[in-house]
Structure 1
Amino acid sequence: MKKYWIITFFCSALAMHAQILEKAAFNLSYRYTGRNVLQAGLEFRVGDFSHKSIVLGPSVLYTRIDQKDKFLPEANIYYSNDGQLYGASFNQYSIEPRIGISLFNIFFLNTGYAFPIHREKYFKGITFGIQFNIAPAKGSKFYDQMKIM
């Protein structure tokens, strides 16, 4: 009887893993937030709506601060509505509300304003960025489908 429960557990874990990969993507982006920043991370799409969804995920920022390489964790959240993006990102130095556009959830082009929350104001002022999302699964549900009339 234990073997059947173990097999059931592994099968359900495998199914959950497959569903997570269907709605996930890797992101690579360039942002200017008062300094040049490269970003890499994961994005997860929440919701089954074809053109309205919430995209959230963790990422790592790479920049040079005081002639030293810095890797900073960041979390972001977006609401996507027919190509329009509304969202925010949070890291240990700033909070950045953003607006932008999305092309089928493949490219995000956004702008915002970084509000410093730390004594050292490494990130502040008007920001802009471009993000490229790469889905690891073929036939991914992360991307929006094109409407054909």
Structure 2
Amino acid sequence: MKLRILSLFTILLLFSTLSMAQDKPWKQHNRWIWGPSVGYQYQSGNFLKVSGWGLFAPNDFQYMKIDAGANFSWMEGKTTVIPELGFTYYLNDFVVFPFLKAELTPYTITPKVGASLFSIVDLGIGYGFDYNTKKNFKPIDGITISVGVNIPLNFHIY
């Protein structure tokens, strides 16, 4: 019951934010779109990714996204939280956006390529390079796959 109420509240909040954004003239809109994101990544183990992000358009056909968050994992008998900073470059703006992404943690750097549906659902693949193995933890390197959902809180169509 609580989950149903929380889901309904989240949907209502999202729709009210989107409808208020449509009422403003173009010049009053902030050129940044921002919001939270949640995702899953496999890279030498399973990670839940939670972050906040901001997206802007340097021109009419390309977008750039900056995100900062944390990766949560249960490995080797303990919960681990790893901070992460990411930069994504979306190559165009037609339904499926191909992208290039770089993620940096205190332990790895991970370049990725992928595709995104309207920059809301991201599917990526890449390779993580371990440069500083976490103490009492296995190296986080190798092939990585990820899926993420970006929730825009101030989205506008025009």
Q: TM-score, normalised by structure 2?
A: 0.71
Q: Which runs of 4+ in 1 moved over 6 A?
A: none
Q: 3-state SS of the aligned residue for 1:19?
A: coil
**Match for residue 67 of structure 1?**
77
Deviation digits for residues 83-135 of structure 1, max 9, x if unmatched? 11101000011000000001101110000000001134531100001000111
**Match for residue 101 of structure 2?**
87
User: AA paired with 1:42?
Assistant: G
User: AA paired with 2:120?
Assistant: I
Q: Following TM superposition, by how much is the alpha carbon of 1:64 offset from its aligned partner in structure 2, in angstroms?
A: 1.6
- The answer for unaligned runs of 5 or more in structure 2 is 1-28
Give aligned pairs, total: 122
Work out which of the residue numbers 10, 20, 30 in structure 2 matches 1:19.
30
- Residues 67-146 of structure 1 aligned to structure 2 (within 5 Å): 67-82=77-92, 83-120=97-134, 121-137=138-154, 140-141=155-156
- The answer for unaligned runs of 5 or more in structure 1 is 1-17
Question: Root-mean-square deviation (CA), in Å?
Answer: 1.8
Work out which of the residue numbers 41, 46, 53 in structure 2 matches 1:43.
53
Q: Following TM superposition, by how much is the alpha carbon of 1:53 offset from its aligned partner in structure 2, in angstroms?
A: 1.0
Greater radius of gyration (CA): 1
Q: 3-state SS of the aligned residue for 1:59?
A: strand
